[in-house]
């Protein structure tokens, strides 16, 4: 009610000056009715986005009515708002601020509704040009309801919540020749999150475990820089983080002694430091391009048992510390499911990619990536390494693939072969999985202007074994998965698809090694540009959905879904 | 139109007070209200003023790049496969119509985690048209879409005359037809 009145108050004065006013409206509705792992799973989410611009002014508002949403909490009201003024030399924003310093190693504020991730702040952003070539960016604001999920979470609602205030300053100095830039930055913040604390409770005369609010103050400083050559470029970014806590990070235990029970706090830490480094080199001579990326993220090394503890946010990377993933996000469904959620707290790795366009029709990509923890999570006192190890105690992950793409006038196809090796390190041993993925067809063929026929065929063979640290690997089981899509598009308006997944992975079939099928159908209609209606019905296999290394697990779903996107 | 909007709003206000379906009343009020207000503005959509960086970190005002040219703007990302398929057609369109005051601008919406792959992609695809970065999606969000690729055509006065979501083979012909249609009055003039 109040929100609609606010909107009216903003829009009506603007309408008086309707000449030169430009508007955009969009409605996105997602409806689902069905079951997930045997439980009813219904959702209804509606987002009404409205933006108006007039000369240098821009207003953006989003209303949400979700009952409940697919992920996160039920909400009705103004979910996002932004007012921006753009002049020739400066920009001022007030509202929900998305911003990136460098490539986000120190500060990356963004929202991704699909995985219920939103670390944006509500506040002010100011950017100005200095001496024509240089820039200064300043932001300040807070987020009172930051929600987070652990990487393997398949829950509908978040594991934990936090609140924070932050302010940051970034200066960008561009070389007069246009061949380099340097961008130093500084960020100060305060984060409040839930923490499990054991203390003496005088009312009961004993120890009590409480969930308290832990306050952390952090300073981050660093810089990003680029060099540009004729056929190469280089990007380097480094930052350092200093944190202090009111409640110390500590392992607490209650011990029986001759004098009774005592509370022992082992090595309480009232402060912590972190650092992150990212390097990328591109080389593009005439006949191919090479990209090499190196990362070393040490924003919060933890022992394995703490990594998924939502009551230990202070020991993890700050909610806005993200950065390049160092691995590719796959559109190949089966490969996407075996991808690696990036641990911005403790990870190092490299990625090498070569692309070659062979002629007008054919192109080739080769990619290799290796990643592991930088520290041994069983012994955090040992110094961090510089290159990823394949030691099974360090959650190593590696992937190599070759992709061949044909893009003809009427027919296009991609062929893909990949080897992925991932290890999930535990306290006494590890689970090792090898995946061999083959995609013989990712075909699109349009026999005439009004029809497009498409097909995707993916196969994946997986081999699971386990190994106790210091012991020999013990073979567990093999399984085969396949993913097939057939679709037809007519007149660029109507589309129908059948999606068929098949797997004998016992983890997906209550421990049984028998085959299981997931079949669903999808219909999509675009009656005119601006309106897009998609419906699907059937069983969906689920999998992993990632945005920039932030991943969540989607449970299998059986039922009906509908999505409407309408732009006015 | 505006008094009608106010009347309609007040009418709904009264009507919904009588209703007990609280969540529904909210949407029932907001959607028609916005539709009517938007209709009162007419149908013109202008490219909003926004500043974007190029591949060498230089900041540009988009309206200054677009100014006076019929411009096809294509939003894409390195991880979007249909976008890659579309690129060679955009390259051809840019090349074919360059002498008719037409330009293509590719705007990557790769975020900070994948933006480092943009240049490699541009070089490997040998793209000759202008590439800008919308890392924080400040322009893309304006169009209220989540699909990629997303293309718009902006006329010489900065008015958005065509929008298109997605890419399947043959969409480039529709794009070209729209450009030719937009060029006709210019040629006559």
pLDDT grade for A10, boundaries at 50, 70 and 90: low
B16 and B57 fall within a common domain: no
Which pair of tokens denotes residue A159?
């594991």
- Alpha carbon distance A446, A487 (integer Å): 12
- Is a pLDDT exceeding 90 seen at residue A567? no
B141 and B174 fall within a common domain: yes
B28 and B97 fall within a common domain: no
Low-confidence stretches of chain B (pLDDT < 70) are 1-44, 185-189
- Is a pLDDT exceeding 70 seen at residue A528? yes
Contact at CB, B48 and A58, closer than 8 angstroms? yes
Contact at CB, A25 and B38, closer than 8 angstroms? yes
Nearest alpha-carbon partner for A283 in B138, B57, B119, B39: B119
pLDDT at B23: 47
Contact at CB, A18 and B119, closer than 8 angstroms? no
The tens digit of pLDDT for each residue in A161-188 reads 999 999 999 999 999 888 999 999 999 9
Question: Tell me, what CATH number does B136's domain have?
Answer: 3.40.30.10
Most A-contacting residue of B7, B48, B78, B134 (CB-CB within 10 A), to test interface:
B48
The tens digit of pLDDT for each residue in A73-85 reads 888 999 999 999 9
- Alpha carbon distance A52, A83 (integer Å): 10
Query: Cβ atoms within 10 A of the Cβ of B112, count?
Result: 23
- Alpha carbon distance A64, A420 (integer Å): 40
Packing angle between helix B2-18 and helix A2-16, nearest 10 degrees? 170
Most B-contacting residue of A11, A283, A290, A564 (CB-CB within 10 A), to test interface:
A11
pLDDT at A465: 95
Kindly report the pTM of this predicted structure: 0.87
Q: Which residues of chain A lie closer than 8 angstroms to B30, CB-CB?
A: 3-4, 7, 48, 63
Q: How far off is chain A from B101, nearest CA to CA, in Å?
A: 24
| B42 beta partners | none
Contact at CB, B142 and A76, closer than 8 angstroms? no
**Which residue among A58, A65, A565 places its CB closest to the CB of B146?**
A565
> In sequence order, what are the residues at sequence separation of 6 or more whose Cβ sits closer than 8 angstroms to the Cβ of residue A111?
A80, A96, A98, A117, A118, A119, A120
pLDDT grade for A14, boundaries at 50, 70 and 90: low
B137 and B159 fall within a common domain: yes
Contact at CB, A76 and B171, closer than 8 angstroms? no
Please give the tally of structural domains in chain B: 2
Contact at CB, A18 and B29, closer than 8 angstroms? no
Q: Which residues of chain B lie closer than 8 angstroms to A290, CB-CB?
A: 120
Considering only the C-alpha atoms of chain A, give the largest distance between any 2 of them, rounded to a whole number of Å.
88
Mean pLDDT for the stretch of residues A116-135? 92
pLDDT at B189: 40
B91 and B64 fall within a common domain: yes
Helix H, strand E, coil C: the string for B36-92 is HHHHHCCCCCECCCCEEEECCCCEEEHHHHHCCCEEEEEEECCCCHHHHHHHHHHHH
pLDDT at A5: 57
pLDDT grade for A426, boundaries at 50, 70 and 90: confident
Phi, psi of B84 (to 5 degrees): -65, -40
Query: Cβ atoms within 10 A of the Cβ of A491, count?
Result: 12
Most A-contacting residue of B160, B168, B169, B171 (CB-CB within 10 A), to test interface:
B169
pLDDT at A280: 95
B116 and B150 fall within a common domain: yes
Q: Which residues of chain B lie closer than 8 angstroms to A458, CB-CB?
A: none
**Which residue among A56, A103, A355 places its CB closest to the CB of B115?**
A103
Between A469-478, A556-565, B13-22, the lowest mean confidence (pLDDT) is in: B13-22
Cα distance between the two ends of chain B? 34
Cα distance between the two ends of chain A? 23
- Alpha carbon distance A14, A26 (integer Å): 19
The reply to whether B18 falls in a domain is yes
Contact at CB, A452 and B168, closer than 8 angstroms? yes
- Is a pLDDT exceeding 60 seen at residue A378? yes
pLDDT grade for A13, boundaries at 50, 70 and 90: low
Contact at CB, B30 and A28, closer than 8 angstroms? no
Q: What's the mean pLDDT when you consider all of chain A?
A: 89
Q: How far off is chain A from B51, nearest CA to CA, in Å?
A: 8
Q: Contacts for A139-146 with beta carbons within 8 Å, 24 or more apart?
A: A139/A97, A139/A99, A139/A166, A139/A167, A139/A168, A140/A166, A140/A167, A140/A168, A141/A97, A141/A165, A141/A166, A141/A167, A142/A166, A143/A118, A143/A119, A143/A319, A146/A118, A146/A119, A146/A319
- Alpha carbon distance A323, A325 (integer Å): 6
pLDDT at B67: 83
Most A-contacting residue of B144, B158, B163, B171 (CB-CB within 10 A), to test interface:
B144
Vertex A414, ends A410 and A417: CA angle to 5°? 165
- Is a pLDDT exceeding 90 seen at residue A237? yes
Q: Which residues of chain A lie closer than 8 angstroms to B58, CB-CB?
A: 174, 178
State the Rg of chain B over Cα. Answer: 20
pLDDT at A4: 53
The reply to whether B159 falls in a domain is yes
Residue in B with minimal Cα distance to A9:
B6
pLDDT at A306: 83
Which pair of tokens denotes residue A368?
């290799």
Give the start-to-end residue ranges of the domains of chain A. 1-80, 87-324, 327-568
The reply to whether B24 falls in a domain is yes
Residue in A with minimal Cα distance to B144:
A26
**Which residue among A63, A181, A449 places its CB closest to the CB of B173?**
A449
Contact at CB, B114 and A410, closer than 8 angstroms? no
Q: Is A491 on the interface with B (CB under 8 A)?
A: no
ipTM of the shown complex: 0.83
Q: Which residues of chain B lie closer than 8 angstroms to A174, CB-CB?
A: 57-58
The reply to whether B46 falls in a domain is no
B156 and B128 fall within a common domain: yes
Contact at CB, B165 and A91, closer than 8 angstroms? no
Which pair of tokens denotes residue A3?
């929100």
- Alpha carbon distance A418, B157 (integer Å): 49
Mean pLDDT for the stretch of residues A508-513? 79
Going by the DSSP 8-state scheme, the letter that residue A484 receives in this structure is E
- Is a pLDDT exceeding 80 seen at residue A299? yes
Dihedral sign computed on CA atoms, order B177, B182, B183, B187:
positive
Is A416 within 8 Å of A401 (Cβ atoms)?
yes
Range of the domain at B160: 51-188
Q: Using CB atoms and an 8 Å cut-off, which of residues 83-112 of chain A contact chain B?
A: 86, 88, 91, 98-100, 102-104, 108, 110
Q: Which residue in the block uniquely carries the two structure tokens 């067809």?
A: A441
Nearest alpha-carbon partner for B171 in B188, B147, B145, B138: B147
The reply to whether B45 falls in a domain is no
Residue scoring higher pLDDT (B32 or A66): A66
Most B-contacting residue of A231, A276, A529, A566 (CB-CB within 10 A), to test interface:
A529
Reported as half-sphere exposure (CB side, CA atoms, 13 A), residue A57 has a value of: 12
The pairing of beta strand A21-36 with beta strand A289-298: unpaired
Q: How far off is chain A from B165, nearest CA to CA, in Å?
A: 7
As a whole-number percent, the residues of chain A with pLDDT over 90 amount to: 55
Packing angle between helix B22-40 and helix B2-18, nearest 10 degrees? 170
Contact at CB, B33 and A291, closer than 8 angstroms? no
Question: Could you tell me how far CA A410 lies from the centroid of its own chain?
Answer: 35
Is A88 within 8 Å of A77 (Cβ atoms)?
no
B66 and B36 fall within a common domain: no
Residue scoring higher pLDDT (A501 or A199): A501
Query: Cβ atoms within 10 A of the Cβ of A254, count?
Result: 12
Dihedral sign computed on CA atoms, order B129, B132, B134, B138:
negative
- Alpha carbon distance B184, A28 (integer Å): 35
pLDDT grade for A467, boundaries at 50, 70 and 90: very high
- Alpha carbon distance A437, A480 (integer Å): 10
- Alpha carbon distance B61, A107 (integer Å): 24
The reply to whether B55 falls in a domain is yes
């Amino acid at each position: 009610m109040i929100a609609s009145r606010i909107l009216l108050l903003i829009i009506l004065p603007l309408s008086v000056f309707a000449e030169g006013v430009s508007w955009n409206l969009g409605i996105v509705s997602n409806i689902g009715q069905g079951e997930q792992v045997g439980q009813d799973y219904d959702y209804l989410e509606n987002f009404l986005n409205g933006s108006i611009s007039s000369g240098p002014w821009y207003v953006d508002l989003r209303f949400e009515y979700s009952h409940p949403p697919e992920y996160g909490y039920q909400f009705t009201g103004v979910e996002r708002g932004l007012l921006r003024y753009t002049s020739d030399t400066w920009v001022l924003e007030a509202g929900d601020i998305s911003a990136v310093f460098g490539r986000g190693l120190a500060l990356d504020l963004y929202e991704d509704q699909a995985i219920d991730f939103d670390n944006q702040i509500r506040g002010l952003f100011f950017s100005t040009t200095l001496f024509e070539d240089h820039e200064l960016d300043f932001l300040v604001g807070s987020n009172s309801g930051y929600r987070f999920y652990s990487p393997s979470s398949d829950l509908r609602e978040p594991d934990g919540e936090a609140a924070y205030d932050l302010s940051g300053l970034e200066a960008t100095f561009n070389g007069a020749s246009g061949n380099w830039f340097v961008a130093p930055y500084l960020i100060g913040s305060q984060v409040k999150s839930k923490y499990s604390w054991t203390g003496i409770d005088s009312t009961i005369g004993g120890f009590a475990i409480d969930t308290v609010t832990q306050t952390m103050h952090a300073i981050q400083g660093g810089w990003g820089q680029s060099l540009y050559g004729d056929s190469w470029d280089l990007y380097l970014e480094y930052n350092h983080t200093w944190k202090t806590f009111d409640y110390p990070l500590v392992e607490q235990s209650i011990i029986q002694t001759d004098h009774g029970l005592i509370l022992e706090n082992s090595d309480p830490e009232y402060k912590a430091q972190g650092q992150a480094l990212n390097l990328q080199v591109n080389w593009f001579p005439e006949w191919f391009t090479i990209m090499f990326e190196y990362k070393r993220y040490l924003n919060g090394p933890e022992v394995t048992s703490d990594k998924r503890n939502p009551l230990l946010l202070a020991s993890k990377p700050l909610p806005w510390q993200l950065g390049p993933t160092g691995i590719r996000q796959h559109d190949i469904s089966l490969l996407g499911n075996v991808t690696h959620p990036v641990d911005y707290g403790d990870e190092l790795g490299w990625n090498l990619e070569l692309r070659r366009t062979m002629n007008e029709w054919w192109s080739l990509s080769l990619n290799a990536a290796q990643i592991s923890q930088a520290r041994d999570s069983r012994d955090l006192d040992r110094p961090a390494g510089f290159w990823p190890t394949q030691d099974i105690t360090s959650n190593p992950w590696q992937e190599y693939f070759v992709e061949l793409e044909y893009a003809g006038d009427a027919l296009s196809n991609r062929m893909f072969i990949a080897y992925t090796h991932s290890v999930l390190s535990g306290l006494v041993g590890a689970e090792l999985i090898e995946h061999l993925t083959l995609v013989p067809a990712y075909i699109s063929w349009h026999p005439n202007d009004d029809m497009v026929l498409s097909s995707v065929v993916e196969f994946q063979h997986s081999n699971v074994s386990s190994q106790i640290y210091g012991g020999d690997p013990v073979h567990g089981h093999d399984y085969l998965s396949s993913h097939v899509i057939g679709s037809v598009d007519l007149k660029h308006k109507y589309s129908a698809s059948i999606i068929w997944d098949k797997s004998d992975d016992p983890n997906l079939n209550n421990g049984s090694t028998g085959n299981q099928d997931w079949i669903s159908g999808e219909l999509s209609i675009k009656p005119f540009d601006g309106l897009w209606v998609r419906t699907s019905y059937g069983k969906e296999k689920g999998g992993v959905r990632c945005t920039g290394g932030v991943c969540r697990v989607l449970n299998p779903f059986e039922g009906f879904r509908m999505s409407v996107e309408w732009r006015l | 139109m505006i008094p009608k909007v106010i009347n309609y709003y007040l009418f709904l206000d009264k009507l919904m007070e009588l209703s007990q379906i609280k969540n529904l009343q909210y949407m029932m009020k907001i959607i028609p209200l916005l539709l009517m207000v938007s209709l009162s503005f007419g149908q013109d959509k202008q490219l909003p003023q926004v500043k974007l960086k190029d591949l060498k970190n230089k900041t540009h005002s988009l309206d200054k790049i677009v100014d006076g040219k019929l411009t096809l703007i294509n939003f894409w990302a390195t991880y979007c496969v249909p976008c890659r398929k579309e690129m060679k057609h955009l390259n051809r369109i840019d090349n074919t119509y360059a002498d008719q005051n037409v330009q293509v601008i590719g705007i990557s919406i790769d975020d900070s985690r994948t933006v480092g792959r943009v240049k490699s992609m541009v070089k490997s695809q040998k793209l000759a048209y202008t590439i800008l970065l919308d890392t924080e999606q400040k322009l893309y969000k304006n169009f209220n879409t989540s699909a990629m690729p997303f293309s718009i055509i902006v006329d010489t006065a900065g008015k958005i005359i065509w929008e298109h979501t997605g890419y399947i083979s043959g969409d480039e012909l529709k794009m070209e037809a729209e450009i030719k249609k937009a060029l006709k009055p210019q040629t006559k003039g």
